[in-house]
């Protein structure tokens, strides 16, 4: 098992420590390898992508739903300590207008790690030429004292494998 760590950090008494778990089982790749310049250049935040093995997408954190795209291809979550996370399913999948996506949550709903967010028909995406990488971003990395610790190059298990760690500013 190979881990790419951006920076090792230690626990500090005045910091909240947080973990972000895999939204799906599959290979975790660096965000810079995603086939979309906006994500790859970290314009929306820093994170990873997962090459999914199945179509059930789960919450990577304990927190609440703060945004759901009308087409169910993207979800905004806020952790219990206030960090905002974006889960974006596929590349350019907004163009499907929700076809192939089934939502399981609502805005302001409290979720825990592993709560199903949606189900996506990965074969439909592939048949229509869409990249199925699932992007998981911290949209406000400047809200963290230290750089994110990002784990890539591993085959993650949904809701079990930690893919990112952070120290939240207090």
Q: Which residues pair with 150 in a beta bridge?
A: 164
For 87, list phi and psi in degrees, rounded to 5.
-115, 115
- The catalytic residue among 15, 73, 88, 151 is 88
Residue 145 has pLDDT above 90, yes or no: no
Flag whether pLDDT at 127 surpasses 50: yes
Q: What is the overall mean pLDDT for the chain? A: 89
- Both ends of the chain: CA-CA distance in Å? 33
Which residues are within 8 A (CB) of 39 and not within 5 positions of it... i.e. 6 or more apart? 31, 49, 88, 91, 135, 137
- What would the mean pLDDT of 124-131 be, rounded to a whole number? 96
From the number of C-beta atoms within 10 Å of its C-beta (0-12, 13-18, 19+), residue 3 rates as: exposed
- On the question of pLDDT at 129 being above 50, the answer is yes
Query: Is residue 88 annotated as a catalytic residue, yes or no?
Result: yes
Q: Can you tell me the distance from the alpha carbon of 86 to that of 77, in angstroms, rounded to the nearest whole number? A: 6
Q: What is the pTM of this model?
A: 0.89
Q: Which pLDDT does position 120 carry in this prediction?
A: 98
* Residue 3: pLDDT band with limits 50, 70, 90: very low
State the burial class of residue 100 (Cβ atoms within 10 Å of its Cβ: 0-12, 13-18, 19+). buried
Element (H, E) at 123: helix 122-127
2-11, 75-84, 90-99: which has the minimum mean pLDDT?
2-11
Question: Is residue 141 helix, strand or coil?
Answer: helix
pLDDT above 70 (res 49): yes
| pLDDT higher than 60, residue 34 | yes
């Amino acid at each position: 098992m190979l881990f790419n760590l951006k920076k090792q950090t230690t626990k500090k008494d005045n910091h909240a420590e947080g973990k972000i778990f895999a939204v799906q089982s599959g290979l975790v790749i660096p965000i810079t390898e995603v086939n979309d310049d906006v994500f790859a250049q970290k314009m929306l935040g820093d994170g990873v992508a997962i090459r999914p093995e199945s179509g059930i997408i789960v919450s990577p954190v304990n927190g609440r739903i703060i945004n759901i795209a009308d087409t169910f291809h993207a979800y905004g979550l806020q952790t219990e300590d206030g960090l905002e996370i974006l889960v974006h399913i596929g590349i350019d999948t907004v163009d499907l207008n929700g076809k192939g996506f089934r939502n399981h949550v609502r805005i302001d709903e409290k979720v825990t790690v592993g709560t199903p967010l949606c189900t996506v028909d990965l074969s439909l995406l592939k048949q229509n030429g869409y990249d199925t990488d699932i992007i998981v971003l911290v949209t406000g990395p400047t809200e963290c004292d230290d750089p994110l610790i990002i784990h890539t190059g591993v085959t993650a298990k949904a809701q079990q494998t930690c893919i990112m760690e952070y120290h939240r500013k207090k």
